[in-house]
Structure 1
Amino acid sequence: MWKVKPPVYFPMETRYRPILESLVPPDPMSQFNLRRGSPDEEFPDLSRNYTWMGRILTRAMYSRQFHRCTHSGVLFDDVIRPGLEEPGDWCSPASVGCVAGDAESYILFCDFFDRVIEAHHGHKITSQTPESDFNCDNLKGGDDLDRSYAGRLEVSVVRGVEDFCFPTHCSRGERRELLTLARRALQRMEEDVLPGQFLLQEDLNQESKREVDFDPPSASQFRIGVARDWPDARAVWVSKDGSLVVWVNMEDHLRLVSTRDDANITEAFKCMFINLQKLEDFYRELKHPFTWKQQLGWVTSSPADVGTGLRISVQLKLPFLPKHKRLQDILKRLRLCMDTTESPTLYCVSNTSTFGLSEVGLTQLVVDGVKLLIAMEKRLEVNGDIDGLVPAQK
């Protein structure tokens, strides 16, 4: 197999990041004579905000970012709006509470974003280039999960496209140009790699929506601007064999999803990254490569997806383990999260972070964690004790 290496050339901005951090670009809002107060007057109320944004943002940090603006017009108030719209709950896992309007946001507002990323992913940002490894031969045990417990799985990856604002900030014209690029790149995919069909959202009927697991935009997505002009310039590409789905202009520029019903993570991983590399090559030929930042890896609109943009989700049948008092501690140690489904005994287990490990490393973390959860469930079925199986913090 092969190992994908990140681009060797990085934007000049990364070389001068400390200098850029201290710059204060002119505020484009000032020309409109709007009644903006001072940073102290505009500082939001974060007393009941339980997002990472609310926990990290201070008055001094807000003042440093207040008069800054990216070249496309992203202000710091645009960045923190999601956390103000949805402040979270003290008893729920903290969301990032912020969003990047464009790739430059991660550089200009790095004083803020770096701290949010480190807190959410539990990994320190350094000057080192994040490791990247798509070689499925390095993945161990992803093809032998116990089918009595493990069922449907999903491997997904998000990518941003260079030179375009992210969905919360992009214009209608940008979104339509992104749709055109996606159509051209995916047509190449059909011709060279994997036959499929390109469908506009507005043309999907109810049956087609069920087949591709289509979820309409949430109220939150409308509030923060992700779903503006819905369904204009939104589309989905579906391979004929059903192994791969590509969402265009939804929460991110691109979201690739590979699903399987046989719990074979290795095959889903292989399908994802072979096709992702091909699609990346097609976008590079179109002069719009995927967005990469040296310290962060692949970046998209949400800081929760930086690094690899990779999510692995496995459905597990667990009648006993979710009732155990140590479950949350176990999940935290495994760096996994567990969500409920429509079935009372079926749960969806996935990785909590995308940054700090390679693609194979994150997938291996999920594989090992799922196997341990299944072993615990088997122990509980016979009224056994699982304390001896609880791992150390990963």
Structure 2
Amino acid sequence: MPKKRYPEPRMWKIKPPIEYPMEMKYRPILESLVPLDPMSLIRLKRGTPEEEFPSLDQNYTVMGHILTLNMYKRQYDRATDSGVIFSDVIQPGLEDPGQLSGPVSVGCLAGDAQCYILFCDFFDRIIEAYHGYKMTSNQESDFNYDNLKGGDDFDREYVLGCEVRMSRCIEDFSFPVHCCRGERRQLLSLAKKALGQVEEELPGQLHSLEELTEDTLGEALTMETATDVRRRTGVARDWPDARAVWISKEGNLAVWINIDDHLQLVSARTDSNIKKAFESACVHLQKLEAQYRKLRRSFVWKQHLGWVVSSPAEVGTGLKASVQLKLRHLPQHKRLQNILERLRLCMDFTGSSEVYKVSNAHTIGFTEVELMQLLVDGVKLLIVMDRTLEDPEGSIDHLVPAQK
């Protein structure tokens, strides 16, 4: 019996595929089991990668330094399940290209957690360049604050205040730069439930950003606003819709919701005891995480990245700790930048006379305790150096450390 011939589809210019009756019968079932490529569902009137490649001539971000046309081509036809394409990832760095003499930013933001996997060719290089960290080992986490040596013995003449921030994002939600209003409102609803469960242990009050004032916020905490950078990068879309902050009764602990990340816990003090601030942040963040788990929502964690947040500048621990440090002589020293790099610290002028904010420069490759130890030891050394320079003939060359 001659084989039945099927009409040749026009798309097969060389030779039609061989089709079997049983395959034809079960093909719809088999195809329904194959995950769809999200990019196949997106219809964009785009040109070729060469036509779409951005101009990076005046871009001073890490993204602008690393991105090449070949890398752009490799990412070009990919999309995450929530619809984030590579152009969305690099757009923040095109909107805010930085300055030649200013601090260097990463120049990109992840639209969701899947970005770090789908665009790993790009993100791994960004993380390695920004943090000086090789993506060859797993990230570890350590909230054992008792292991921190010092931090409660700073000289009050120099240290005027301190703060510990820890950022987290929730599984299965897009990150702030990409999420829609509905997602943002769901995240706020989740936060209300989780914070409500810790009310007995930690009394506090939730405030929407519309009703928030500086007086409500208190002396220790600083106000989050829709800055120009947040607006240009898309993080502040629909501001202040579904943005809120929970403030503890004592006024030294806050949980910001839907700002740069889904959650950001801030432990701040008007004294010099950063060890207490770190302890408070560790204890209450773990309590909050436990409540989210009860709600069947986990914080995003990847073994090689640690805690995953929207900016590759803060993956790993999501921790940014800072000390307000009064320095009279060291800021004018020619070796200051080299010293800060060796200590893995960064320093910014606060606008107040002789007061600078000193913080950890990196967030990955070290545990939370190790990053805090770098900050504590580094601040103590900066104070010693500043005192040494009170003498016009004083030299700090013998105090300059090796790379931490």
**TM-score, with normalisation over the residues of structure 1?**
0.91
Residues 1:179 and 2:191 aligned together = no
Select the residue among 186, 189, 194 that pairs with 2:202: 194
Select the residue among 152, 171, 176 that pairs with 2:161: 152
Structure 1 unpaired stretches of 5+: 1-22
Superposed, 1:227-238 pairs within 5 Å as: 227-238=236-247
State how far apart, in whole Å, the 1-side matches of 2:224 and 2:208 are: 14
Shift in alpha-carbon separation, 1:266–1:288, aligned structure 2, 3 A? same
Amino acid at match of 2:65: R
Select the residue among 62, 66, 78 that pairs with 2:88: 78
**Preserved contact between residue 38 and residue 83 of structure 2 (Cα < 8 Å):** no
The answer for the alignment partner of 1:377 in structure 2 is 386
**Preserved contact between residue 139 and residue 305 of structure 2 (Cα < 8 Å):** yes
Residues 1:44 and 2:23 aligned together = no
Higher-Rg structure is 2
Shift of the alpha carbon at 1:210?
6.0
Amino acid at match of 2:157: S
The answer for the alignment partner of 1:103 in structure 2 is 113
Amino acid at match of 1:202: E
Task: State the percentage of identical aligned residues.
Answer: 60
Residues 1:208 and 2:220 aligned together = no
Select the residue among 113, 120, 124 that pairs with 2:130: 120
The answer for the alignment partner of 2:362 in structure 1 is 353
State how far apart, in whole Å, the 1-side matches of 2:289 and 2:214 are: 31
State the SS of the aligned residue for 1:203: coil
Runs (4+) of structure 1 exceeding 6 A deviation are none
State how far apart, in whole Å, the 1-side matches of 2:42 and 2:315 are: 32
State the SS of the aligned residue for 2:198: helix
The answer for the alignment partner of 1:365 in structure 2 is 374
Superimposed CA distance per residue, residues 94-151 of structure 1 (whole angstroms, 9 cap, x where no aligned partner): 210000000000000000000001111111112x431111111211111111111111
State the SS of the aligned residue for 2:89: helix
Shift in alpha-carbon separation, 1:256–1:97, aligned structure 2, 3 A? same
Superimposed CA distance per residue, residues 153-173 of structure 1 (whole angstroms, 9 cap, x where no aligned partner): 000000001110000111111
Select the residue among 322, 336, 339 that pairs with 1:330: 339
State the SS of the aligned residue for 1:303: coil
**Preserved contact between residue 140 and residue 364 of structure 1 (Cα < 8 Å):** yes
Shift in alpha-carbon separation, 1:242–1:80, aligned structure 2, 3 A? same
Superimposed CA distance per residue, residues 289-346 of structure 1 (whole angstroms, 9 cap, x where no aligned partner): 1001111000111001100000110011101110111111111111111111121211
Residues 1:68 and 2:78 aligned together = yes
**Preserved contact between residue 155 and residue 258 of structure 1 (Cα < 8 Å):** yes
Select the residue among 126, 133, 136 that pairs with 2:145: 136
State how far apart, in whole Å, the 2-side matches of 1:219 and 1:350 are: 23
The answer for the alignment partner of 2:39 in structure 1 is 27
How many residue pairs match? The answer is 368
Superposed, 1:298-309 pairs within 5 Å as: 298-309=307-318
The answer for the alignment partner of 2:291 in structure 1 is 282
**Preserved contact between residue 28 and residue 73 of structure 1 (Cα < 8 Å):** no
Shift of the alpha carbon at 1:265?
1.4
**Preserved contact between residue 24 and residue 68 of structure 1 (Cα < 8 Å):** no
State the SS of the aligned residue for 2:82: coil
The answer for the alignment partner of 2:17 in structure 1 is none
Shift of the alpha carbon at 1:215?
3.1
State how far apart, in whole Å, the 2-side matches of 1:392 and 1:153 are: 26
Shift of the alpha carbon at 1:58?
0.7
State how far apart, in whole Å, the 1-side matches of 2:334 and 2:327 are: 14
**Preserved contact between residue 298 and residue 308 of structure 1 (Cα < 8 Å):** yes
Shift of the alpha carbon at 1:24?
11
State how far apart, in whole Å, the 2-side matches of 1:142 and 1:160 are: 28
Amino acid at match of 1:110: C
State how far apart, in whole Å, the 1-side matches of 2:336 and 2:353 are: 16
Select the residue among 274, 281, 303 that pairs with 1:294: 303
Superimposed CA distance per residue, residues 218-251 of structure 1 (whole angstroms, 9 cap, x where no aligned partner): 1221122111111111110000012310100111
Shift of the alpha carbon at 1:26?
5.1
The answer for the alignment partner of 1:166 in structure 2 is 175
Amino acid at match of 1:183: K
State how far apart, in whole Å, the 2-side matches of 1:393 and 1:171 are: 43
**TM-score, with normalisation over the residues of structure 2?**
0.88
Shift of the alpha carbon at 1:49?
1.2
**Preserved contact between residue 214 and residue 223 of structure 2 (Cα < 8 Å):** no
Amino acid at match of 1:123: Y
Amino acid at match of 1:331: L
State how far apart, in whole Å, the 2-side matches of 1:331 and 1:290 are: 32
